[in-house]
Each structure stands twice: as C-alpha cells, then as structure tokens.
Amino acid sequence: MAKYRKLGKTSSQRKALLRNQVTALINNGRIITTEARAKEVQKIADGLVALAVKEKDNFETVKVTAKVARKDKDGKRVKEVVDGKKVTVFDEVEKEIKKDLPSRLHARRKMLAVLYPVTEVPTTNAGKKRNTKEVDLVAKLFDEIAPKYTSRNGGYTRIIKIGQRKGDGAMEVVLELV
C-alpha cells in the first residue's frame, strides 16, 4: 500500500505542486483544488500548523541596539558630506526582537523547507517592483494561525466538496483552515 498519492506526476513535479498549494493555503486561508490533491496538501498543512502550535511561545525577547539610516520626509536617506564624500547619516535605535530558542528555530527551518517565498504586490502598482513586500509565512503561522488552534488537537483544515469540474469531471473541493 502506498504512503502517498502520486497524482500522475514525477516526484519533483509532485513536490513542487504540493509546496505551491500548501503555500497558497497558508497565505490565503483557502484554496480550490481536486480531492486527491487536497488530501495530500491537508497532511502537510496540518503538520505545519501542529508544529507552529507546539512552538508558538518558545522564544525570548532581547533588546538590541541597531544602526538605522536617517530618512527625510520623502523617505529617502539623509546624506552629508564628509571629507568630500557623500555619506549616509545613521541613528542608533534600541529595538526589542524575538530570539527563537533552538527547538523553535528547528521548527522554523522545517517550515521554510516546505513553504515558498511569497511577494505581495499592491493592486495599484501591479506589474511593478516598487512597494512590493515579502510576506513572512512562518511568522504568520507562529503569530496569527497558531494562537487560534491552541485548544484544538489536530484537524486544522477542512475539505468541502463543491462538485465535479466541467472539463474532466474531477471532484473539486475547497480546502480551508478551520
């Protein structure tokens, strides 16, 4: 008996497809796909959420002083002339950061092995690189998704059948985070 569905793809194609769908599910909260794919994605997504729930409070806060470039009203760096060269002016700022403990760091790296990087583009500048933001899905898992599921023991996703696809008759489902 097989431990997973092959989905009619080579191993590299299958891994890429599943990673892509898990990333979309975590980013958007729900996806529409076929039943066989949804069952495979559900296994992976439930594992990631369970890992996030287990390690969500496993960090310590540390105060750090950092050099930050001073910016003017337009958001551009302030420069001053020193010895005939233009040099950026830096200010020292004290910040509080979360420092992962070893088990949470390991969990973070396991999640990053599955999730693809996601870039969010504002709708006004579609197709342009300006004002794009890198979405930190691991932080979203730890900070937003995991606190919702602390009282739950598994079953973090739900599959709802929505009927057959018109082209090939495959059963389509909505896979969503509960």
CATH of domain 11-58+111-177: 3.90.1030.10
Residue-level pLDDT, tens digit, the chain, 178 residues: 678 999 999 999 999 999 999 999 999 999 999 999 999 999 999 999 999 999 999 999 999 999 989 888 888 888 888 888 888 989 999 999 999 999 999 999 999 999 999 998 877 776 677 778 899 999 999 999 999 999 999 999 999 999 999 999 999 999 999 9
Where are the CATH 3.90.1030.10 domain residues in the chain? Answer: 11-58+111-177
Rounded Cα distance between 37 and 166, Å, is 17
Residue 18 parent element (H or E)? helix 11-28
